[in-house]
A = this chain, B = another copy of it.
Amino acid sequence: MTGMKFTFPVRIYYEDTDHGGVVYHANYLKFMERARTEFLRTLGLELDALDAEHGILFALSEAQVCFRRPALFNDLLVVETGLTRLAGARMEFVQRIWRQQPRSLLVEADIRLACIERSGRVRRIPRPVATALRSHLLPEEQA
Protein backbone atom coordinates (compact mmCIF):
# COMPACT_ATOMS: atom_id res chain seq x y z
CA MET A 1 0.00 0.00 0.00
CA THR A 2 2.98 2.29 -0.65
CA GLY A 3 1.89 5.89 -1.05
CA MET A 4 -1.67 5.12 -0.03
CA LYS A 5 -3.53 6.87 2.70
CA PHE A 6 -3.88 5.01 5.96
CA THR A 7 -7.34 4.98 7.57
CA PHE A 8 -8.18 4.60 11.25
CA PRO A 9 -11.66 4.48 12.82
CA VAL A 10 -12.66 6.58 15.84
CA ARG A 11 -15.92 6.21 17.73
CA ILE A 12 -17.20 9.32 19.55
CA TYR A 13 -17.91 8.78 23.26
CA TYR A 14 -19.27 11.13 25.91
CA GLU A 15 -15.71 12.07 26.94
CA ASP A 16 -15.14 13.57 23.47
CA THR A 17 -18.15 15.88 23.37
CA ASP A 18 -18.88 19.22 24.97
CA HIS A 19 -21.80 21.28 26.18
CA GLY A 20 -22.30 22.59 22.63
CA GLY A 21 -23.48 19.07 21.70
CA VAL A 22 -20.50 18.37 19.44
CA VAL A 23 -16.94 17.06 19.72
CA TYR A 24 -14.68 19.46 21.64
CA HIS A 25 -12.23 20.90 19.12
CA ALA A 26 -8.97 19.93 20.86
CA ASN A 27 -10.03 16.28 20.80
CA TYR A 28 -9.64 16.06 17.03
CA LEU A 29 -5.92 16.52 17.63
CA LYS A 30 -6.02 13.45 19.87
CA PHE A 31 -7.78 11.43 17.17
CA MET A 32 -5.15 12.46 14.63
CA GLU A 33 -2.37 11.44 16.97
CA ARG A 34 -3.94 8.03 17.58
CA ALA A 35 -4.08 7.62 13.79
CA ARG A 36 -0.41 8.63 13.31
CA THR A 37 0.58 6.18 16.04
CA GLU A 38 -1.28 3.36 14.27
CA PHE A 39 0.13 4.41 10.90
CA LEU A 40 3.65 4.09 12.34
CA ARG A 41 2.72 0.74 13.90
CA THR A 42 1.77 -0.67 10.48
CA LEU A 43 5.31 0.25 9.36
CA GLY A 44 6.76 -1.69 12.28
CA LEU A 45 7.55 1.50 14.20
CA GLU A 46 6.34 1.25 17.79
CA LEU A 47 6.78 4.57 19.62
CA ASP A 48 7.82 2.94 22.90
CA ALA A 49 10.46 0.88 21.11
CA LEU A 50 11.78 3.97 19.29
CA ASP A 51 12.15 5.65 22.67
CA ALA A 52 13.83 2.60 24.27
CA GLU A 53 16.11 1.68 21.36
CA HIS A 54 16.90 5.01 19.73
CA GLY A 55 16.13 7.45 22.56
CA ILE A 56 13.80 9.44 20.32
CA LEU A 57 10.33 10.93 20.52
CA PHE A 58 8.27 12.73 17.88
CA ALA A 59 7.01 16.10 19.10
CA LEU A 60 4.37 18.18 17.37
CA SER A 61 5.98 21.38 16.14
CA GLU A 62 3.25 22.84 13.95
CA ALA A 63 -0.43 22.19 13.29
CA GLN A 64 -2.67 23.92 10.81
CA VAL A 65 -6.21 22.72 11.33
CA CYS A 66 -9.46 23.51 9.52
CA PHE A 67 -12.63 22.54 11.38
CA ARG A 68 -15.31 22.26 8.66
CA ARG A 69 -18.19 20.41 10.31
CA PRO A 70 -18.66 19.07 13.82
CA ALA A 71 -18.80 15.41 14.81
CA LEU A 72 -21.60 14.37 17.13
CA PHE A 73 -21.89 11.94 20.00
CA ASN A 74 -21.90 8.30 18.85
CA ASP A 75 -20.60 9.17 15.37
CA LEU A 76 -18.19 6.78 13.72
CA LEU A 77 -15.32 8.72 12.15
CA VAL A 78 -12.41 7.75 9.97
CA VAL A 79 -9.05 9.47 10.13
CA GLU A 80 -7.04 9.45 6.88
CA THR A 81 -3.33 9.88 7.30
CA GLY A 82 -0.69 10.49 4.65
CA LEU A 83 3.02 11.16 5.09
CA THR A 84 3.88 14.12 2.86
CA ARG A 85 7.45 15.05 3.73
CA LEU A 86 10.51 13.62 5.40
CA ALA A 87 13.70 15.61 5.86
CA GLY A 88 16.39 15.50 8.54
CA ALA A 89 14.56 15.63 11.85
CA ARG A 90 11.23 16.58 10.31
CA MET A 91 8.18 14.56 9.34
CA GLU A 92 5.01 16.05 7.83
CA PHE A 93 1.53 14.60 7.54
CA VAL A 94 -1.73 15.54 5.94
CA GLN A 95 -4.72 14.23 7.87
CA ARG A 96 -8.44 14.32 7.18
CA ILE A 97 -11.26 13.29 9.49
CA TRP A 98 -14.47 12.08 7.87
CA ARG A 99 -17.85 11.14 9.22
CA GLN A 100 -18.87 7.82 7.73
CA GLN A 101 -22.62 8.09 7.27
CA PRO A 102 -23.56 10.31 5.62
CA ARG A 103 -20.01 10.81 4.38
CA SER A 104 -18.81 14.29 5.17
CA LEU A 105 -15.38 15.92 5.59
CA LEU A 106 -15.08 17.29 9.14
CA VAL A 107 -11.47 18.30 9.73
CA GLU A 108 -8.37 18.80 7.58
CA ALA A 109 -4.91 19.30 8.99
CA ASP A 110 -1.27 19.72 8.10
CA ILE A 111 0.88 18.40 10.89
CA ARG A 112 4.63 18.82 11.34
CA LEU A 113 6.59 16.75 13.83
CA ALA A 114 10.19 16.99 14.99
CA CYS A 115 12.32 14.05 16.04
CA ILE A 116 13.77 14.91 19.45
CA GLU A 117 15.65 13.35 22.33
CA ARG A 118 14.05 13.29 25.79
CA SER A 119 16.19 16.34 26.61
CA GLY A 120 14.29 18.22 23.89
CA ARG A 121 17.32 18.36 21.57
CA VAL A 122 16.40 17.96 17.89
CA ARG A 123 17.81 14.82 16.32
CA ARG A 124 18.01 13.52 12.77
CA ILE A 125 15.53 10.67 12.25
CA PRO A 126 17.63 7.46 12.59
CA ARG A 127 18.32 5.83 9.21
CA PRO A 128 16.31 2.59 9.68
CA VAL A 129 13.32 4.63 10.83
CA ALA A 130 13.66 7.04 7.90
CA THR A 131 13.89 4.11 5.48
CA ALA A 132 10.68 2.55 6.81
CA LEU A 133 8.94 5.91 6.58
CA ARG A 134 10.22 6.82 3.11
CA SER A 135 8.52 3.83 1.52
CA HIS A 136 5.18 5.31 2.63
CA LEU A 137 5.61 8.88 1.43
CA LEU A 138 2.66 10.01 -0.66
CA PRO A 139 3.49 9.72 -4.40
CA GLU A 140 3.48 13.45 -5.18
CA GLU A 141 6.24 13.79 -2.65
CA GLN A 142 8.35 10.89 -3.79
CA ALA A 143 9.13 12.60 -7.07
> Which residues of A line the B interface, CB within 8 A?
11, 13-15, 17-22, 24-27, 29-30, 33-34, 37, 46-48, 57, 59-67, 69-70, 72-74, 118, 120
Contacts and interface: CB of A to CB of B under 8 A. Distances in A.
Most buried by B among A30, A72, A118: A30
Copies of the polypeptide in the assembly = 4
25 contacts: A13-B30, A13-B33, A14-B19, A14-B20, A14-B47, A15-B26, A15-B30, A19-B19, A19-B72, A19-B73, A20-B57, A20-B59, A25-B60, A25-B63, A29-B29, A47-B74, A48-B74, A59-B70, A61-B67, A62-B66, A62-B67, A64-B65, A65-B65, A69-B120, A70-B120
A12 to B, nearest CB: 9
Contact of A66 (B59, B61, B67): B61
Contact of A18 (B17, B29, B34, B46): B17
Given A14-B47, A29-B29, A59-B67, 10 more contacts: A14-B24, A14-B33, A15-B34, A17-B18, A19-B22, A20-B59, A47-B73, A59-B70, A61-B67, A63-B65
